[in-house]
Structure 1
Amino acid sequence: MTGTTPAAPSRSDAVRNRRLLLDAAAKTFAERGVEVSIAEIAQCAGVGKGTVFRHFSSKEELLASIMLGMLDELVDTATVLLTADDPGLALREFMTAGVEIFVRDRAFCEVIGRPSVQHPQVRDAIDRLCDVAEALTARARQQGIVRPDVTGTDVVLLLSGIQHTAAPLLSAEPQAWRRYLELALDGLTTSTGRKLPHPPPRHLPLTAPHLDHEH
């Protein structure tokens, strides 16, 4: 008696499985960080572990897809705000949206600022985010709303800084980050007449913890 080869999943099944995996990965990464295993993600999605690797060659690729979704969300938000009448309010709304994403998604915070994964598409998305953040910041600079030596990259870096500052409080006080956002905004908008003591970064580094195929 000869065995039969399982039928390949249809295109609609493949699309559905990919969406299930992305949703499950986003949920588990956000709640538990990037150390969650592929097996746990597959279980959450209701698919086999092999299905994960049919769609994503590694956990790095899966995490990159999640990161791209979050970065695109921020870039889209900033792009819309470029048409706002009030440059200062637009910058405030962008920073609020950015910190909310960082607070919501633990994995985002774990990836930004740690060694050692580089993903070209995520790198490009980070660059796009810095470019649109610079456009928002430039409008505010031109109106004298923020310090003349503040850049868009400074603003993007502050988003994760605000989340990290508030992180010890968030489980008991989920809105505590708003206090530190206001402190950061005050620092951006208060002119002391003194220049900042170090030049702004040229690029925002993208680094991530080591991820392998089994974790």
Structure 2
Amino acid sequence: MATTSSRRQRRDAVRNREQLLEAATRAFAERGLAVDVREIAREAGVGVGTFYRHFPTKDDLLQAVIEPDLAAWSELTERADAAEDAWQGLRTFVESTLALMVERRAILDGLGGAVQDSAAVVACQEHLRGALTGLVDRAHGQGALRSDVSAADVGLQIMALGRIVQMTAEMDPEAWRRHAGFVLDGLRAADGPGGENRSS
């Protein structure tokens, strides 16, 4: 009987954790990282005590939820890095990152630092910096990106476009694509490969 009870408890614990992760994933994707843990526990159908047994801090939950998003983002980054045309690679990264923000507000909030002192937030910001450094260097090397534009500049533009993602999500979900085009056109070197000579 003790063994049966122990197995049942383990199954219940696994189910509770899965329910918490599912509820948190939905909540963070739809409402951002500021969602209260009590709300997540309620949506998962468990008590707050159960929540803390699985995730001692909210940041532990954030890291568990955002891990698959970071993995997907890493795959997008690898594809951008593999592009022979450095400008196309940079463009792919910017547009793919914004598309991910549309689906996963946790990434959007993570880049914006919506939750302070969070390892999950730091992971988002570090990934953005690391990915952009190589992409921007390659684009400069091919003469495709304006020489006065740094990786930090592109990162700030992505975060600014993320705000547009938020503001237009309900009334025009695709508006961010047009605005991303405006920004990318402004970043491209006037005389770079495939670019127009803006001085003419």
Q: In the TM superposition, what is the alpha-carbon distance from 1:17 to its structure 2 partner?
A: 3.3
Cα pair 1:71 1:125 within 8 Å, conserved: yes
2:183 corresponding residue in structure 1: 184
Q: TM-score, normalised by structure 1?
A: 0.73
Q: How does 1:1-215 map to 2 (within 5 A)?
A: 7=6, 9-10=9-10, 13-114=12-113, 117-120=116-119, 122-124=121-123, 126-191=125-190
Q: Residue deviations 1:68-95, cap 9 Å, x none?
A: 4333322231123212222221211111
Q: In the TM superposition, what is the alpha-carbon distance from 1:173 to its structure 2 partner?
A: 0.8
Gaps of 5+ in 2: 192-200
Structure 1 103/160 Cα, relative in aligned 2: closer, same or farther at 3 Å? Answer: farther
Cα pair 1:147 1:189 within 8 Å, conserved: yes
2:197 corresponding residue in structure 1: none
Q: In the TM superposition, what is the alpha-carbon distance from 1:115 to its structure 2 partner?
A: 6.5
Structure 1 70/156 Cα, relative in aligned 2: closer, same or farther at 3 Å? Answer: farther
Matched letter for residue 94 of structure 1? F
Gaps of 5+ in 1: 1-5, 193-215
Q: Residue deviations 1:159-188, cap 9 Å, x none?
A: 221121343322011101011100110111
Q: In the TM superposition, what is the alpha-carbon distance from 1:124 to its structure 2 partner?
A: 4.5
2:196 corresponding residue in structure 1: none
Matched letter for residue 9 of structure 2? P
Q: Residue deviations 1:5-50, cap 9 Å, x none?
A: x85832x554443333222111112212333322321232233322
Percent pairwise identity: 34
Matched letter for residue 143 of structure 1? Q
| Distance in 2, Cα, partners of 1:97 & 1:104 | 11
Q: In the TM superposition, what is the alpha-carbon distance from 1:121 to its structure 2 partner?
A: 5.7
Q: In the TM superposition, what is the alpha-carbon distance from 1:102 to its structure 2 partner?
A: 1.8
Cα pair 2:113 2:121 within 8 Å, conserved: no
| Distance in 2, Cα, partners of 1:121 & 1:39 | 20
Structure 1 65/32 Cα, relative in aligned 2: closer, same or farther at 3 Å? Answer: same
1:209 corresponding residue in structure 2: none
Cα pair 1:77 1:94 within 8 Å, conserved: yes
